[in-house]
Chain A
Amino acid sequence: MSEVATNQTILVAGGGISGMTAALEAAECGKEVVLVEKRAALGGRVSQLYKYFPKMCRPHCGQEINQRRIRANRRLRVLTLAEITKLRGAPGDYTATIKIAPRHVNSNCTACGDCASAVSAEIDSPHDYGMRKVKAAYLPHNLAWPQRYVIDASIAGGEQGAAARDACRYGAVDLDMREETIELKCGAVIFATGWRPYDAAKIQPYGYARYDNVVTSVEFERMLDPYGPTGGKLLRPSDGAEAKDVAFVQCAGSRDRNHLAHCSRVCCMASLKQSMYVGECYGEDARATIYYIDIRGIDRFEDFERQVRADERVRFVKSKVARIEQNADGSPVLHGVDTHGARRYANTHDLAVLAVGMQPSVDANEVFEEGATSVDASGFIQARDGENGNDGVFAAGCAADALDVNRSVQSATAAALRAIQVVNRAARA
Chain B
Amino acid sequence: MTSAVEKYRNNFLREVEANVEEGEWVKMCMQCGVCSGSCPLGDAWEHPPQELFMMIRAGKRDQVLASESMWMCTSCYSCITRCPRGLPITHIMHGLANYANRLGIAPKMNPTRRFAKIFWDNIAHTGRVNETKLSLRLYFMDGFFTGLRRAFAMRKVGLGMLRTGRLNPLGLFRAGGIARKGELRKLLARAYEIEDARKNFGKRN
Contact = CB atoms under 8 A, between A and B. Distances in A.
A320 B30 CA distance: 10
8 contacts: A251-B32, A257-B83, A293-B30, A321-B34, A323-B37, A336-B33, A339-B32, A342-B47
B86 A337 contact: no
B84 A336 contact: no
Contact of A337 (B36, B82, B85): B36
Given A293-B32, A336-B33, A323 B48 contact: no
B51 A336 contact: no
B81 A258 contact: yes
B37 A337 contact: yes
Contacts of A342: 33, 36, 47-48, 50-51
B43 interface: yes
Interface string B58-94: 0000000000000000000000011111100000000
A319 interface: yes
B132 interface: no
B31 interface: yes
Interface in B82-118: 82-86
Contacts of A318: 33
Contact of A344 (B30, B32, B42, B84): B42
B33 A319 contact: yes
Contact of B34 (A259, A322, A338, A344): A322
Nearest to B81: A258
B50 A205 contact: no
Given A342-B51, A344-B42, A319 B32 contact: yes
B10 interface: no
Interface of B: 30-34, 36-38, 42-43, 47-48, 50-51, 81-86
A293 B32 CA distance: 5
For the side of the interface on A, what is the size category? 20 to 34
A344 B50 contact: no
The residue among A293, A323, A336, A339 with the most chain B CB atoms within 10 A of its own CB is A339
A255 interface: yes
Interface in A276-322: 293, 318-322
Nearest to A334: B37
B84 A337 contact: no
B6 to A, nearest CB: 28
Given A256-B84, A258-B84, A322 B38 contact: yes
A205 B50 CA distance: 19
A342 B37 CA distance: 10
CB-CB nearest 8 A-B residue pairs = A322-B37, A336-B37, A320-B32, A256-B84, A337-B36, A339-B33, A320-B34, A337-B33
Nearest to A258: B84
B85 A344 contact: no
The residue among B30, B32, B38 with the most chain A CB atoms within 10 A of its own CB is B32
B84 A257 contact: yes
Contacts of A321: 34, 37
